[in-house]
Amino acid sequence: MDKFNRTTIAKMFGISPNRLYYWEKTNLIKPGEFYTFKDLVSIKTILNLKKKGISLQRIRHLLKQVKTRTPYLRFPLAELKFEVKGKKLYISKEGIKFDPYGQIYLDFEKETAEVKSVGDFLTAEDWFERGCRLDDTPETIKQAEDAYLQALHLDKHFVPAMINLGNVYYLQGKIENAAMWYQLAIKEDPESPEAHFNYANLLEEKKAIEEAISHYQVAIVLRPDFLEAHYNLALLFERIGQPLKARRHWEVYLNLCTDEEERKRIKDFLEKKEE
């Protein structure tokens, strides 16, 4: 069975690893060290539903309803077909069409029931997802900043929005603003590996090496398969002259990495060091 890590999947779908991790934590997709093919189909379904105007909150509500009625399905987002018509959402399996509440429709063309809507206005999650779509290009980064601020206005405890807002400020060179949001994220959720990782990146740039190492290590303790944290920590240990500590993280990185070109690059680097 093919398996893919979070970084590979994020690149495949053009989304951030942090976004995937958030979906795992909020039970949209199954958490785990690696993703299977059915996980990929589930992610594609989520992205397709969002493109058609279905919010994350509504998708999560839909998933809860479907799991109640079809507990035998391990991957309902991959095993069922979903159809959106205006504000109406239908599910089909083996020629049978029904809504999230189990109401069956024999006449596929006649829409006789309105699917219950979660809300007609944007939620904190909607603003967060909007920010995720806008924060990867310089032209829209200010709009992303506004979206994350709107998310936090609606939910002041929204840790992924804090982290991404910190990233947006970091990319704009507003280092102190970024540090503040990373610190707030860690205070709100000390067990967020993404918050520790991003704060470690910032601290490393500020030459606060010991503190950066500490936060990278916390991120790895919280998520042992955190590929990027092992990579950054290995590089940092190399830079400060601690090759034995670096080697341990290179080995973990090589075990986790599924990109053969990247694995070869790191192996060549380590072999040259030993010459």
The identity of residue 213, as a single letter, is I
**Tokens at residue 37, please?**
């093919």
- Specify which residues 92 forms β-bridges with: 81, 97
What are the backbone angles phi and psi of residue 172, rounded to the nearest 5°? Answer: -85, 0
CB 59 within 8 A of CB 43: no
**Tokens at residue 90, please?**
């239908």
User: Cα 164 vs. chain centroid, distance in angstroms?
Assistant: 11
The Cα 46–Cα 241 span in angstroms is 45
| pLDDT of 4 strictly over 90 | no
The pLDDT, as a whole number, for residue 33 is: 67
Per the listing, tokens 């509504």 go with 58
- Please write the tens of the pLDDT for every residue from 23-39: 888 888 887 667 888 88
Q: What confidence tier does 275 reach under pLDDT thresholds 50, 70, 90?
A: low
The identity of residue 124, as a single letter, is A
| pLDDT of 21 strictly over 80 | yes
The identity of residue 206, as a single letter, is K
For 37, 48, 95, 97, 191, the CA distances from 41, given in Å and listed in that order, are 6, 10, 20, 20, 29
Average pLDDT in the chain: 84
**CA-angle at 233, arms to 230 and 235, nearest 5°:** 110
Per the listing, tokens 């190492």 go with 213
- Which fold is adopted by the domain 6-105? Multidrug-efflux Transporter Regulator; Chain: A; Domain 2 (1.10.1660)
Q: What confidence tier does 69 reach under pLDDT thresholds 50, 70, 90?
A: low
Higher pLDDT, residue 50 or 204: 204
| pLDDT of 154 strictly over 90 | no
Q: Where are the domains of the chain?
A: 6-105
The pLDDT, as a whole number, for residue 105 is: 55
Instruction: Collect all residues with Cβ–Cβ distance below 8 Å to 154 and sequence separation of at least 6.
Output: 123, 124, 127
The Cα 47–Cα 13 span in angstroms is 9
The pLDDT, as a whole number, for residue 111 is: 37
